[in-house]
Amino acid sequence: MSQVDYTTLIPNNVDLSSDARLQRAMEQWYPKYLDWWNDMGPNGFQGFDVYLRTAVGVDSEGWAKFGYVKMPEYRWGILLAPQVENRKIAFGEHIGEPVWHEVPGEYRAMIRRLCVIQGDTEPASVEQQRYLGETAPSLYDMRNVFQVNVEEGRHLWAMVYMLQKYFGRDGREEAEGLLQRRSGDKDRPRILGAFNEKTPDWVSFFMFTTFTDRDGKMQLESLAQSGFDPLSRTCRFMLTEEGHHMFVGRTGVERIIQRTCQALNENGITDPGDIDKARSLGVVDLPTIQKKINFHYSVTLDLFGAEISTNAANSFNAGIKGRFNEAKIDDDHQLKSDTYPVAQIIDGAVKTQEVPALTAINTRLADDFIGDCESVMKRWNRVFTEQNVDFQLRLPHRAFHRAVGEFSEVRIDPNGNLVTEEEWQLKKNHWLPSNDDLEYILSLMEQEVRPGKFANWIAPPRAGINGQVGDFEYVKLN
């Protein structure tokens, strides 16, 4: 069924009422989820009407309905993309066999772990973003962060459904754990590093949704290839929602760049690298934008895991987690004798070396991610051309500022050269945001909630949400 049943407590298109055990488990989990949402969701905005989209179907067209909703009343639910008839496993040692509709016993632990890791990122980002409403640069932006938040909440539902339906008691315990860990908590942190970083300001939010949600896209794309069909279907639907999150990030940064360029031009400032002059105009200076890219891109690359990984090889072999666009890749989809180039530290320098392709699955996914980020950079750099400002942003080298994998034990500059610890300490504030930079950004964060108005440091968007006019009241604060 492609329409979603909204007559029940839990909206779904998985015929939930036919599985009494599962329905009970989800209904028992729901109030705990709401407690978490009320404690850790957008702080101070739970009682207001927000113009949100809610999925009403899972077809590629016309799946969402827009309307005012108070966030705790959002209709979270269980949505899977339609089943593809006669789908076959597309890679690994079971290639060509029919996909599984139940968890294969031998891969139970592997699938559960993938669901828990994916699931953990979803509430984590809501926790990271919970104070942003207080400093929203416009009602448009405020609505967008809330939209992202309720959908990340639903992505948690998606993974909890997998755990509750297919993993019995263990799954139930994991579902509870997903509500108990907290981003940045000393004792019970979220599982992955980037999801324990702070998102204290809107520049960070837009960078996070550009880079870290894009990691989410890559992970979901590779899980969408899964031979375990329910996992594939749930991830395919999550991807349709993820697109908007990355849009919010990419256009957010684009609007910051646009505003800074306008301010420089209007004031006759010809050196785009002049931090003090840009800051005197109350906009985000371009060197700081570059440093924010360096930071968020590098912590996000860590999410891809070790460059060479037997875990990744095992889940590929098993047919559980594939590659980005697996079906479009022209090879045997088993990688028995293929090799793949992986950057490593060899003789004191970063060099690329061919390794068995099966062990390089993580690197390959990171490469696809990097390619995607390059196209984002092109769009951001286009603003400089349009505005006639002599500046370019770029991605740092993949080995820069890494805490996971091949490069975690060494210091590497944004160009990919090894540097000494001394040099790193000397230059790190040129490469990564300094406390001063972060404080400056925070000083710009003042709430602007008059309909159609925007904070001084960001340009208005090209178009409204769902075709709404410029002064549309996206959040009703009274």
Question: Interface with Fe ion by CB under 5 A: which residues?
Answer: 122, 152, 155, 213, 242, 245
Rounded CA-CA distance 242/214 in Å is 8
The secondary structure of the chain in percent helix, strand, coil, rounded to multiples of 5, reads 55, 10, 40
Single out the residue of 226, 250, 254 nearest to residue 238, CA to CA: 226
What's the token pair of residue 129?
A: 């973003």
- At closest approach, how far in Å is the CB of 352 from Fe ion? 31
Please give the backbone phi and psi of residue 476, each rounded to the nearest 5 degrees, phi first: -95, 105
The smaller minimum CB distance to Fe ion, of residues 122 and 127, is found at: 122
In the complex, the smallest distance separating the C-beta of residue 443 from Fe ion, rounded to whole angstroms, is: 28
The answer to whether 232 touches 118, Cβ cutoff 8 Å, is no
Minimum CB separation of residue 223 from Fe ion in Å reads: 12
Smallest distance from Fe ion to CB 154, Å: 8
Among candidate residues 412, 404, 415, 406, the one with its CA nearest the CA of residue 341: 406
Whichever of 235 and 335 has its CB closer to Fe ion, that residue is: 235
Shortest gap between Cβ of 233 and Fe ion (angstroms)?
A: 16
Minimum Å gap between C-beta 242 and Fe ion is: 5
237/295 with CB nearer Fe ion: 237
Six token digits for residue 378: 């092109």
Pairing assessment for the beta strands 418-419 and 411-412 based on DSSP bridges: antiparallel
- Provide CB contacts within 8 A for 143, sequence distance 6+: 50, 51, 52, 465, 474, 475
In the complex, least distance from residue 297 CB atom to Fe ion, rounded to whole angstroms: 17
Our CB check for Fe ion shows the closer of 126 and 136 to be: 126
The sign of the torsion formed by the CA atoms of 144, 150, 152, 154 equals negative
Q: Considering beta carbons, is residue 234 or 258 the nearer one to Fe ion? A: 234
Rounded least distance, CB 23 to Fe ion, Å: 24
Angle formed by the axes of helices 20-40 and 168-180, nearest 10°: 10
Cβ neighbour number for residue 170 with a 10 Å cutoff: 14
Closest by CA position to 334, among listed 170, 125, 96: 96
- SS3 sequence of 231-254: HHHHHHHHHHHHHHHHHHHHHHHH
Q: How far apart, in whole angstroms, are the C-alpha atoms of residue 49 and residue 53? A: 12
What's the min distance (Å) between Cβ of 152 and Fe ion?
5
Shortest approach of Fe ion to residue 118 CB, angstroms?
A: 8
DSSP-derived 3-state class of residue 208: helix
Q: Considering the complex, state which of residue 118 and residue 225 has its C-beta at the smaller distance from Fe ion.
A: 118
Between residues 114 and 358, which has the closer beta carbon with respect to Fe ion?
114
- Which is closer to Fe ion, CB of 90 or CB of 238? 238
Buried (b) or exposed (e) across 114-129, using 16+ Cβ within 10 A?
A: bbbbbbbbbbbbbbbb
CB of 147 to Fe ion, least distance (A): 10
Between 152 and 174, whose beta carbon lies closer to Fe ion? 152
Q: Would you say 179 or 389 has its CB closer to Fe ion?
A: 179
SS3 414: coil
Closest to 71 measured CA to CA, from 159, 130, 3: 130
CB 75 within 8 A of CB 56: no
| Shortest Å, Cβ 163 to Fe ion | 16
Which one, 245 or 411, has the nearer CB to Fe ion? 245
Nearer to Fe ion, 26 or 159 (CB): 159
> In whole angstroms, what is the distance from residue 407 CA to residue 301 CA?
11
Task: Determine the Cα–Cα distance for residues 59 and 5; give it in Å rounded to an integer.
Answer: 14
**Which residues fall within 8 angstroms of residue 463, CB to CB, at 6 or more apart?**
none
